[in-house]
């Protein structure tokens, strides 16, 4: 049985200076949010919330100044904050300086015990505006007693391969950390529902508020129904309580009790070639996206 998961999507403006002052302000905000929502188990912030970002000639300077290894001073303080407040903390993505010297747009996750349990590097930077190095792995993590959660960052949601792989890896919920100040947020809302429907997975897309984003953070269930949506631009906290077992129920019994998108193949059916990827769909491997009891 899954415990109900109380979440807070914190739709707010970014901190534009990656320094101790920004971390002080962030820590105060996390503590304020947990006091206001004492039952919350998962706090999620928008893309680059602690680092700021400018899609112009200053972007490289901001990025370089803010980049740190994940186990640097910023990471140590974030881990301590999660431990002190006793919550699962996704502080938005940060600029990570990798061991290879490249800078990545990376989403870390901290457990209530103060451990970094996962980190995801954005696979699809928004070219040509973003110059971070692309990641190369899809990442899920387990929240004991609740379910499995996948990570994506902003533009990743436009590529169906990302959410499909996270769902195939067993994600019950996908967190999409967003920093969209442009009119295509309207399309992102459609994508949040579409990704939920075609993968039978819950989606939570948290966007920044003005002046960094146009808001409209959203929570969608595994059948594509909108559970909660924030208003445009303003700073808001979107709260919800999710049963992550819903994704497995929908995959087993079908959307509306009808459509089982993870079980479209007959036993022993030949594979399907995928020329775009230089690969193929293997029917037995595809079925791994089903809960084990439904295979």
Instruction: Kindly tell me the burial class for residue 278, based on how many C-beta atoms sit within 10 Å of its own C-beta (0-12, 13-18, 19 or more).
Output: exposed
Q: Where are the beta strands (DSSP E) in 129-235?
A: 140-143, 147-153, 173-177, 202-206, 218-220, 226-229
Unique residue bearing structure tokens 């993590």:
141
Residue that is written with structure tokens 């962030």 in the block: 26
Classified as helix, coil or strand, 232 is strand
Q: At how many degrees (to 10) do helices 185-199 and 160-168 cross?
A: 30
- Between β-strands 5-11 and 42-44, what pairing exists: parallel, antiparallel or unpaired? parallel
113 is catalytic: no
Residue 252, CB-side half-sphere exposure with 13 Å CA sphere: 12
Q: Which of 8, 96, 122, 130 is catalytic?
A: 122
| Cα–Cα distance for residue pair 188/183, rounded to 1 Å | 10
Catalytic annotation present for 154: yes
Look up residue 114 and give its DSSP letter: S
Q: Which of 51, 96, 154, 188 is catalytic?
A: 154
From residue 273, alpha-carbon distances to 4, 80, 167, 250 in Å are 40, 48, 21, 27
Annotation says 122 is catalytic: yes
Catalytic residues: 47, 122, 154
């Amino acid at each position: 049985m899954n415990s109900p998961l109380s979440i807070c999507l914190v739709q707010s403006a970014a901190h534009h200076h990656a320094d101790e002052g920004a971390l002080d302000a962030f820590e105060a905000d996390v503590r304020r949010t947990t006091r206001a929502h004492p039952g919350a188990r998962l706090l999620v912030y928008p893309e680059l919330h602690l680092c700021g970002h400018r899609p112009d000639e200053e972007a490289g300077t901001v990025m370089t100044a803010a980049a740190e290894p994940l186990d640097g001073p910023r990471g140590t303080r974030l881990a301590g904050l999660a431990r002190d407040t006793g919550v699962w903390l996704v502080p938005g993505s940060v600029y990570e300086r990798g061991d290879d010297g490249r800078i990545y747009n990376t989403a870390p996750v901290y457990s209530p015990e103060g451990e970094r349990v996962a980190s995801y590097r954005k696979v699809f930077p928004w070219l040509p505006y973003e110059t971070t190095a692309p990641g190369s792995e899809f990442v899920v993590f387990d929240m004991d007693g609740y379910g499995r959660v996948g990570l994506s960052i902003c533009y990743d949601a436009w590529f169906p391969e990302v959410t499909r792989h996270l769902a195939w890896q067993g994600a019950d919920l996908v967190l999409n950390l967003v920093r969209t100040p442009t009119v295509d947020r309207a399309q992102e809302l459609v994508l949040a529902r579409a990704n939920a429907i075609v993968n039978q997975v819950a989606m939570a897309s948290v966007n920044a508020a003005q002046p960094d984003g146009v808001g409209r953070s959203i929570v969608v269930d595994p059948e594509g129904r909108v559970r909660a949506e924030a208003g445009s631009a303003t700073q808001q906290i979107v709260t919800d309580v999710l049963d992550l077992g819903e994704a497995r129920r929908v995959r087993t019994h079908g959307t509306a009790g009808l459509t089982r998108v993870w079980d479209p193949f007959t036993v022993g059916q030949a594979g399907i070639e995928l020329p775009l990827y230089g690969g193929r769909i293997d029917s037995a491997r595809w079925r791994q996206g089903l809960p084990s009891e439904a295979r």
